Chain A
Amino acid sequence: MVEIIDLVLLGMLAITALRVIFLKDLFAVVMLFGLYSFLSALIFVNLDAVDVAFTEAAVGAGISTVLMLGTLALTGRKEKENTHTAVLPLLVVIVTGAALIYGTLDMPPFGHPDNPAHEHVAPRYIEESPKEIGLPNMVTSVLASYRAFDTLGETAVVFAAAIGVFSLLGLPSKGNVAIDSGLKSHLVLRVVAKLVIPMTVLFALYVQFHGDYGPGGGFQAGVIAAAAIILYALVFGLPMATQVVRPNFLKVLASLGVLIYAGTGVASFFLGGNFLDYNVLASDPVVGQHIGIIVIEFGIGVTVFAAMLGIFYGFAAQAERKNIQ
């Protein structure tokens, strides 16, 4: 059964990707890309990667699509007729693809429990991590404890990307307020949005603090919380949203999250352990691991929230400025 669902969903994914190549209307391309992300999220669920599916649905289908639409609002939605000949790219793609397909024949069969990928560290994570770290969700254990150093780097990359967007596009300032901002005349939308936004924030908090026990964690929670404010900005207008969460506050938050994360590492360093070794945070190592993971997941959530919302503000402020001119 799992195999049949896999075959059908992957087939649909291939058709979506093929369609993206031929469409000239970029709005449709971006919508299809959102669909593509949702389909991949479904496939991830089918392949047991629930945490990944969660992230892909929130990030790929949510934030990426919003950012691409924001870009389209500034650059136009029609792709011009392509004057290049398609022969050379097609040839390159076919040759590369054929070589890769030939390479897959040497790969171990899909899903086999004896595959090399399941031999090395995976059994240790699966057998030892519930005892060593004390969390049911092994993905969180590996992400926040065994490979916490990687995750610190990735949080720093998100922070750096936010800095990049802030310096390229700038954040909304107080001066430029568009007269007709948001969808204030749509009464139904306003009422529904007011109902949905608190629920979304509550859900983000649940995902943040329940990530040790179920799918979720700081990355997903940050994106979901940002999505709640983005919804507010879309319905009530950017000027209102910047009153709720100020752009300058976001700059502080983005760096604060990385600071909390790295600070936890430094704290365990000074308590006599290695950098990011949470065992020394409490007298009982398992309790120490719990404290460490909750704190750094909070740091991740704060940085991701601030970065995603700040990036959205950057794009929205550009579109707003274009509206005024």
Chain B
Amino acid sequence: MSFIVDYYNYWIVVFLMMAGFYIVISANNLVKKIVGLNIFQTSVFMMYISIGKVQGGSAPIVADGITSYSNPLPHVLILTAIVVGVATTAVGLALVVRIKRAYGTVEENEFEDKDALI
């Protein structure tokens, strides 16, 4: 049981990563690809936060009577990564909107043949 508890977080992270990866490489629709990319991204966040956790620790905000805190460094890195992630997602979605306007479709296999139009 302790073996499972020790590694469960990492295994789920790998599963989520692979789910996102699968969506990115297999989906035809660009919006779905971006959702897949976001799932992949969140799984990386989960990985960092799991590494920062200390058993019996508390959130890294100083309070009386608490001696053990979780590692604040991964929290800082991931906090900013989330905001940067949504900003880049927005650029991706904006590109999808422009692709729709230029080609009339967001399905990958449909606009691949239309390169001559632009």
Which of A's residues lie within 8 Å of B, judged by CB? 3, 6-7, 10-11, 13-14, 17-18, 20-21, 26, 29-30, 33, 36-37, 40, 43-44, 47-52, 55-56, 59-60, 63-64, 67-68, 70-72, 74-76, 79-80, 82-84, 86, 89-90, 92-94, 96-97, 100-101, 104-105, 107, 109-113, 115, 117-118, 121-122, 125-126, 130, 136-139, 141-143, 147, 150-151, 154, 157-158, 161-162, 164-165, 168-169, 213-215, 219, 223, 304, 307-308, 311, 314-315, 318
Contact = CB atoms under 8 A, between A and B. Distances in A.
Given A143-B80, A168-B95, A72 B31 contact: yes
Nearest to B109: A83
B31 to A, nearest CB: 6
Contacts of B100: 74-75
B72 A7 contact: no
Contact of A44 (B5, B49, B89): B49
Interface of B: 5-12, 14-23, 25-32, 34-36, 38-39, 42, 45-46, 49-63, 68-76, 78-80, 82-91, 93-98, 100, 106-107, 109-110
Nearest to A312: B90
Given A7-B8, A68-B93, A110-B10, A126 B55 contact: no
A141 B73 CA distance: 10
A44 B43 CA distance: 12
A93 B21 contact: yes
A20 B79 contact: no
B78 A52 contact: yes
Contacts, number: 285
B81 to A, nearest CB: 8
Contact of A97 (B15, B50, B58): B15
Q: Is the interface of A mostly helix, strand, loop or mixed?
A: helix
A79 B32 contact: yes
Given A10-B9, A21-B19, A48 B32 contact: no
A76 B31 CA distance: 10
The 9 closest A-B pairs by CB, nearest first: A161-B87, A109-B6, A111-B55, A48-B70, A104-B10, A89-B26, A136-B62, A17-B19, A168-B94
B60 A318 contact: no
B97 A169 contact: yes
Which of B50, B57, B70, B79 has the largest number of chain A CB atoms within 10 A? B79
Contacts of B26: 82, 84, 86, 89-90
